[in-house]
Amino acid sequence: MFAFLFKRLPKVLSLVLLFIAIVLLGFLLIGCLDNTNQYSKIYLAQFQFNQTSSDVMNDIMISNSTQTFDSISLKVNYLAVCIDLNQNLTCTTYDKLNNLTSFNDISISPTSSLNLNLISIVKSFSKICHPKVLEATIVLTLVLLLTICYTSIPYIPFKSNVKKFNCVLASGTTLLWGLGSMLQMEAVNTSTIMVNDASMDMVVANRGLRAEAMTWTAFAFIIVVNIHCFYVCFKDVIDLKRIENQKMNSANFSVKV
C-alpha cells in the first residue's frame, strides 16, 4: 500500500500544485472587486499623495483641497480599483469608475496649469495592464488539471497520447504565464517609477507585494508540473523500450531453442 501511495505521490502533488495555482491566479484576477480583505488587499499597485515630501508640498496639498491627503489611497488591479478615503473603502470596476462622481476630484493643483488627479492615473494604468494573458493562463491551467486527472484513471484509452499532449500543454502554459508575469512586473515597475518621477514625488506609487508573490508562486508551481509531465513521458518511453527489449530477447531465445 505504501509503495502504491509513493508511486502516486508525484501525480497527486502535481494535481495539488495545479489546483493551488488556479486559486492563486483566480484571486489575482478578481482582486479589488470587493471591499472585503480577501479581495481589497490583492492589488498590483497603490497610488496616494505624498504629504511628507516637503513642507512646501504639504502647503500646496492642503491649500488646494479640503481632504486629508494621507488618508487617500487608490489600489489598482486587473479588473477593478479600490478607493480608500478616510478609512472608507469603495471598490468598483474600471467601467463603473466614472459613475463615482464623489471621487472625481481626488486631485491637487500646484499651479494653474498642473493638475494631478489620481483617478486619471488609475485609468491610465488600466490601459497598460490587460487581463487577457492571465485569463488565458487560468483556462489552460484548468485544462491541464483535467487532462492530468484523465491520465490518472486506470484502463482508459488514449492515455499515452494524452500524456504527450500534457507535455505540450504544460510547456505552453509555462511560457505563456512566464511572459505574462514579466509583462505584469514591467508594467507595474514602470508605472510606479514614472508616476513618482513625473509628479516630482507628489504622488507615491508602490507595488502590490501580495499580488507579486501570488504571481511568481503560481508560475513556480506550473514549472514543477511541467517538469513532472516530461518526467512521465520520459518514463513511459523507457518502459516501452524495456518491454520491446524483453520481447526481442524472448523471441531470440525461442529461435535458439
In this predicted model, what pLDDT tens digit does every residue of 75-103 receive, in sequence order?
A: 999 999 998 877 788 888 888 877 765 56
228 lies in which domain range?
2-256
Domain count for the chain: 1
Amino acid at 134: L
- For 77: left if phi > 0, alpha if psi spans -120 to 50, otherwise beta; the answer is beta
Distance CA 111, CA 168 (A): 57
In the sheet with 88-93, reading across from the earlier edge strand, the strands are 88-93, 80-85, 72-76, 45-49, 203-207
pLDDT at 3: 46
Structure confidence by residue, pLDDT tens digits, 10-55: 788 999 999 999 999 999 999 988 888 888 899 999 988 776 655 4
Per-residue b or e along 18-40, where b marks 16 or more CB atoms closer than 10 Å to that residue's CB: beebbebbbbbbbbbbeeeeebb
- Residue 238's pLDDT band (cuts 50, 70, 90): confident
Identify the pLDDT of residue 53: 59
pTM for the full predicted model: 0.84
Decide: 147 and 160 in contact? Cβ < 8 Å. Answer: no
CATH at 43: 1.20.140.150
pLDDT of residue 173: 96
